Amino acid sequence: MKQNQTLTVMDAGRMTSLEIAQVTGKMHKDVMKAIRNMEPAWLKVNGRNFALVDYTDSKGEQRPCYSLSKMECLYIATKFNDEARAKLVIRWQQLESEKLRVKSEIFATAQGGEETTKQPEILLESMSSEALFAHISQVVVRDQLFLDPAFDRQAAIDHFHLSKERIGAAFSQGSDYASISDFINECRLEYAVNLLCNQSSLPITQIAQACGFSDANYFGRKFKARFGLSPTDYRVGNS
């Protein structure tokens, strides 16, 4: 696998150590060193090494870099400071949103714009679970439906005119999420990270509401379970 240093890579849900360095503001050699130091523990637990690939640098020379899955990236990020971790999490959200948008556009092009407009329910029912997940997720992220506290599984069923079985299969079979509720909460939590890092004067209760959580205590529990810190501690670490 060859990569040009001027390009960042997000193929098949992966990110290179080059992009990790660019996103976090670290030297690539330091990121490579951190990955190498953490690889033995990963190998012991998961039974496999990190993927090592080549890229061509600005001088035309072949150099090694790592190609990591999202899970592997977030494992490596545990050694980074809070700001670097937050940048990496936000970047993953951006990349996944873009990936969903592209998938949705490809599907729309394949089906034909006119038919998609006239018979959306029929087309959605005919999609595979993976394609349906891509479409629903893209719409939820693009239109920020998750920011509405009332947007839940039933609201999604009503919005997309699909049965609860089709909605459930789209996420349980077509994605890494157990349910659409898990996906909605993930969107809200990623949005909360952005607000915590960029809206330092906004009270935590207002951030919870702005992200679609009607209960600030529930938001706090979900946030800590996801990121290992309370919203307040996360903000302090990134201020």
Q: Encode pLDDT of 128-163 as tens digits.
A: 888 888 889 988 988 899 999 999 999 999 999 899
10 pLDDT band, cuts 50/70/90, is: very low
**Which H helix or E strand runs over 16?**
strand 14-16
Residue 100 and residue 204 share a domain: yes
Last residue in a domain, options 49, 80, 111: 80
Residue 74 and residue 86 share a domain: no
AA letter at 29: K
Residue 156 and residue 99 share a domain: yes
Residue 126 and residue 37 share a domain: no
Question: Residue 221 pLDDT > 50, yes or no?
Answer: yes
Residue 160 and residue 189 share a domain: yes
Residue 129 and residue 92 share a domain: yes
Question: Residue 6 pLDDT > 50, yes or no?
Answer: no
pLDDT by residue (tens digit) across 77-92?
A: 888 888 888 888 787 7
Mean pLDDT computed over every residue of the chain: 81
Question: Residue 116 pLDDT > 50, yes or no?
Answer: no
Terminal CA-CA length for the chain: 39
Residue 219 and residue 164 share a domain: yes
Cα–Cα distance for residue pair 53/238, rounded to 1 Å: 32
168 pLDDT band, cuts 50/70/90, is: very high
- Domain, as residue range, for 23: 2-80
Closest by Cα among 17, 38, 43 to 28: 17
Residue 203 and residue 91 share a domain: yes
Identify the pLDDT of residue 59: 81
Identify the pLDDT of residue 2: 38
Last residue in a domain, options 23, 56, 80: 80
Last residue in a domain, options 62, 80, 98: 80
198 pLDDT band, cuts 50/70/90, is: confident
Residue 171 and residue 60 share a domain: no
Question: Residue 105 pLDDT > 60, yes or no?
Answer: no
Residue 74 and residue 90 share a domain: no
- CB-based burial label for 182 (10 Å; 0-12, 13-18, 19+): middle
Residue 135 and residue 214 share a domain: yes
Residue 153 and residue 141 share a domain: yes
- 3 forms beta bridges with 55
Q: What is the CATH number of the domain that holds 123?
A: 1.10.10.60
Cα–Cα distance for residue pair 227/208, rounded to 1 Å: 15
Tally the domains of the chain.
2
